[in-house]
Chains A and B, each alone.
Chain A
Amino acid sequence: MALELGRIPIEGIRWGRATRIEEKVLLIHREELIERTWGGDSRITSLDADLAMPGESVRIIPIKDVIQPRVKVEGGGGIFPGLVSGKEKVGNGRTHVLEGCSVMTVGRIVGFQEGMLDMAGPGARYSSFSKLLNVVLVIDVKKGITQQEHEEALRLAGLRAAAYLGEAGRSITPAEIDHFESLESRSTKSSLPKVAYVYMLLSQGLLHDTYIYGQDLKALQPMLILPTEVMDGAVVSGNCVSACDKNTTYHHLNNPIIEELSKRDGVDLHFAAVVVTNANVTLLDKEQSSSYTAKLVEQLDVDGVIISKEGFGNPDADAMMNCAKIEERGISTVLITDEFAGADGGSQSLADAHPRANALVSVGNANTPITLPPMERVIGDVQILGRLAGGHPDSHSEDGEITVELQVILGATNELGFEALSSKEI
């Protein structure tokens, strides 16, 4: 089993008379996009579509998810299985990717930890999303529906939009094609160090959930997943743990650890497996998941493991348990994590610690304040800033300048290691 990932570069997006790709420009039929995104979901009461380009003086807030348009051209199943496609297993055949663009879901806030993005100015540097051509969907829902329904309506709408736009790439010849052999089919007699990836996913309830093949992960027993399944959208975000360290669906699709390990597979390491595990809300569940993960990793007979995290606070306990239990079996670990060291950087960065967690990559202190100039245009609702995690009620000053923590910027301290931000002791 193998997947060919065909990359179609998108260098411009415009509204047009039909949705198609012409010379690296994605033309979008706006009414059709809106109709397909709405998808007949009666919970949605209004849906607007806007465009935000790199370098434009635009602030987008509050953002729930970012998704990349992809389409399954050959092979079983469809993109985002279990949610907007059937449950058939994915990960083989051929998938096309519209590179350089995204779909963002914005709208009335569901919960406190949604995020913000500036397409220009000092804030843009902190998120790679500022370099993408973004199709921003502003969606509102019926009053009186539950928060759970609100979240689900927007999540599915975003996926529908990404799948719809992805279709435009079905018959386009990709500029380049990456080949991924299935991990199952390869020889394990490699003399290179064997590495596995432990992929921690949040599973804590409203706006703190993740989905694999459409199922939330509270009941997940740690298990193997193929990198190519992840590339076809098997893992979808339903959470906003804090905009800075939430793994958006875009992050999952373009998981940089999977990319890095795949790139170096056979070169200086042997990429053995990906283990997904969850992070639940009870101590017992945390102990069980981490014990099971460690057991599974040991059976894989690997020399080392990369562990990625999502969120902060109580998931720090899961991360420490995973590190400790895997290290106890003589397997090396490296954990990627962000820090919450206070605005002055002088506080303890993690909620939990363990002496065996001796190899950490830090993706930055999320409490660091940043002052952002006003933007000419806002898509969404700037006044919401005071209620978002990382904002304060006095975040706005008279001239539209805002002072917030990096926490509010979408993806700023992503714990898959997507960005280059780091932190050091001075």
Chain B
Amino acid sequence: MDRKLKVVHYLNQFFGQIGGEEKADTAPLKKDGTVGPGLLFQQLLGQEAEIVGTVICGDNHFNENLETAKEAVLELVKGYRPDLLLAGPAFNAGRYGTACGAVCEEVAGRLAIPAVTGMFPENPGVDLYKKSVYIIETKPSSMGMKDAAQQMVGLALKLAKGESLGSPAEEGYIARGVRKNYFAKERGATRAVDMLLSKMKGEPFVTEYPMPVFDRVEPSPPIEDLSQITLALITSGGIVPKGNPDHVESSSASKYGKYDIQTAEALSPETYETTHGGYDPTYANQDPHRVLPLDVIRDLEREGVIRDIYPYYYATVGNGTSVANAKKFAQEIAKDLLRDGVQAVIISST
């Protein structure tokens, strides 16, 4: 690049030399040039880039006024017309980490310039922002400032110059949990045999997909009296009204359907079908109850075993539908159900 890259640095009230906790409610402001640790960053950036301005905001102010603070910070950053943003590093400070993450995400998203911050892996800002923001892994305290700054600058310059990146470990940032395709040198079968040979010989190997660890949720407390409950039905087996009016996809569903069954005693093959592409549809099309047991549940309702059935059922397709989408659907459905006083749900999956 011919001209020097212009950099803006984001800091909180403490590193921005405004004050300590008592100044955590400081509204966003700017100062030309470097402030505090910005000097170190400038030294590391050398001749390639110049920190033209520093934007400072109190941690409490930012966290308590998220939307307005983000806008205000963005405006101040915009004013410098920078090529790059550096934030923090926040080490293990939670409010600061959240602010740095939010600022980076906002700037990268709306100004389309690279943004880099640094945090200790346990900083709550990491889980919130690692997917969309480059977060250099730092030590828990500002004892790690020099290393953090070096790595932040290294990564930031690469991003600004459009250079290709190495792995998260190589570049020093916290793996974003995002999978990206690339073409390897060898085909999969060859890589598999190579990996097996290393593994059998006890030599180090790197799995191309590490097994995930799943979080658990506390089970809901049991229901005392079923005859008082409203029960809702959800299926991931793709049972939809014939013709699939909402075009729920046969795989990788981007949506779910919500269907009125207030007057439906049962599901007939004339009026319902399955749109799930991942299993032999013959049996479900012959009798949709094999996937969505409305007939039995109506009986139970009639017998007073449960009080009633929610007037709608939800259908999506479990075939290759990403966990993120499933999560989103569930959150939206939960809103409906909580609002309408549903106490329990049966999900039927294939």
Binding site for B on A (CB under 8 A): 111-113, 125, 147-148, 193, 195, 204-208, 241-242, 256-257, 259-261, 264, 268-269, 281, 303-306, 311-314, 332-334, 336-337, 339-350, 353-355, 357-368, 386-393, 405-407, 414-426
Contact = CB atoms under 8 A, between A and B. Distances in A.
B233 to A, nearest CB: 22
B187 A423 contact: no
Contact of B191 (A312, A355, A361, A424): A361
26 contacts: A193-B197, A205-B282, A206-B281, A242-B277, A256-B188, A260-B192, A261-B193, A269-B197, A306-B193, A332-B196, A332-B199, A340-B252, A340-B320, A342-B324, A343-B322, A346-B179, A350-B212, A353-B214, A361-B195, A362-B209, A389-B249, A389-B320, A407-B252, A407-B320, A420-B187, A423-B209
A102 B192 CA distance: 26
Contacts of A344: 178, 324
Max count, chain A CB within 10 A of own CB: residue among B178, B196, B197, B211: B196
Contact of A349 (B131, B187, B209, B350): B209
B280 interface: yes
Nearest to A113: B277
B189 interface: yes
B181 A421 contact: yes
A339 B211 contact: no
A343 B319 CA distance: 14
B177 interface: yes
Contact of A193 (B178, B188, B201, B319): B201
Given A207-B280, A418-B189, A425-B175, 18 more contacts: A111-B281, A313-B319, A334-B195, A341-B179, A341-B322, A344-B324, A345-B179, A357-B211, A361-B208, A363-B188, A367-B252, A386-B247, A389-B252, A420-B183, A421-B181, A422-B182, A422-B208, A426-B167
Nearest to A354: B211
Contacts of B53: none
Taking residues whose C-beta sits less than 8 angstroms from the other chain, chain B's interface range is 35 or more
Contact of A389 (B277, B281, B318): B277
B192 A361 contact: yes
Nearest to A306: B192
Interface of B: 131, 165, 167-168, 175-193, 195-197, 199-201, 205, 207-212, 214, 247, 249-252, 254, 275, 277-282, 318-320, 322-325, 350
A257 B280 contact: no
Contacts of A358: 207, 210-211
Contact of A346 (B178, B185, B200, B350): B178
Contacts, number: 240
Contacts of A424: 167, 179-180, 182, 208
A386 B248 CA distance: 10
B187 A392 contact: no
A389 B199 contact: no
A359 B208 CA distance: 7
Contacts of A148: 282
Max count, chain A CB within 10 A of own CB: residue among B200, B201, B212: B200
Given A353-B214, A361-B188, A425-B175, A405 B196 contact: no
A147 B282 contact: yes
